[in-house]
Amino acid sequence: MSPSKIQNHALLTATAALTLVGAAQANILNNPGFETPTTTSAANVLNNFPGFAGVWGPEVGSITTAALGVTPATGGRMLGMTTDGLSYTQAFQAVDVSAFSGMINAGQAQMVAGALYNTNGGYTGAFAIVNVQFFASSTFSSLIGNSGNGTLTLDNDPTSWESTSVTSMIPVGTTWVVYQIAYQNASIGNNTGFVDDAYLRINQIPAPGALAAFGLAALGARRRRR
């Protein structure tokens, strides 16, 4: 292969790797729009990942149709949560990510999680979060990290859905994740916090060597043009 063809091949290979940055996979949550009304308890999800994988587990709440002046963002249903008397009212879903173990254990897996939020209106300041926790096995005791929180302070308009998201690398060794959506209890009071269109995606980030190869190939191509 001639030097120019080798350089072109390197450039094409590195460019293909670079396109993986931020290239989102499919949403891996089950029932992300809450169109299926089945739920379980938060305790069930957190205490038995395999047994309740893909099932929403709210602490205090349920999947509902339009309610309290709020219409689902898409479809016919949404999740509604009310105060549980503690700091946050939350809902969880456990997800088996072992299918992504190759990129996770190579340190190349990035997750992006988010959702849409709304309340029944008339007040400002409802505080919502999204968070993902990472586990080395199918038990809560195997926690190895979390994504940090994506946060949002909502307006008082029940006709506008607002979004927040969080992005994080997935720790090496992760086999299960728990996706969490929540409202701060003090911020919603006796009102209802709604959630719709939740998502959790895993992107592959190319290894540093691929980025370096891209840089060298691009430099070589620029020199040939001069």
Q: Which amino acid is at 35?
A: E
Q: Write the pLDDT tens digit of every residue in 92-145.
A: 999 999 999 999 999 999 999 999 999 998 888 999 999 999 999 999 999 999
CATH number of 22-205: 2.60.120.260
Per-residue HEC secondary structure of the chain comes to CCHHHHHHHHHHHHHHHHCCCCCCCCCCCCCCCCCCCCECCHHHHHHCCCCCCCCEEECCEEEECCECCECCCCCCCEEEECCCCCCEEEEEEEEECHHHHHHHHCCCEEEEEEEEEEECCCCCCCEEEEEEEEECCCCHHHEEEECCCEEEECCCCCCCCEEEEEEEECCCCCCEEEEEEEEEHHHHCCCCEEEEEEEEEEEECCCHHHHHHHHHHHHHHHHHHC
Q: Write the pLDDT tens digit of every residue in 155-202.
A: 999 999 999 999 999 999 999 999 999 999 999 988 999 999 999 999
Per-domain residue ranges of the chain:
22-205
| Average predicted confidence (pLDDT) for the chain | 87
Nearest-angstrom CA–CA distance, 137 and 60: 27
Nearest-angstrom CA–CA distance, 57 and 219: 52
**What pTM was computed for the model?**
0.83
- What is the band of 223 on the pLDDT scale with cuts at 50, 70, 90? low
Query: Is it the case that residue 5 has pLDDT exceeding 80?
Result: no
* pLDDT confidence of residue 191: 93
* pLDDT confidence of residue 2: 53
Least confident of 20-29, 45-54, 84-93: 20-29
* pLDDT confidence of residue 122: 80
Nearest-angstrom CA–CA distance, 61 and 7: 58
* pLDDT confidence of residue 11: 40
* pLDDT confidence of residue 121: 82
Max CA-CA distance within the chain?
A: 73
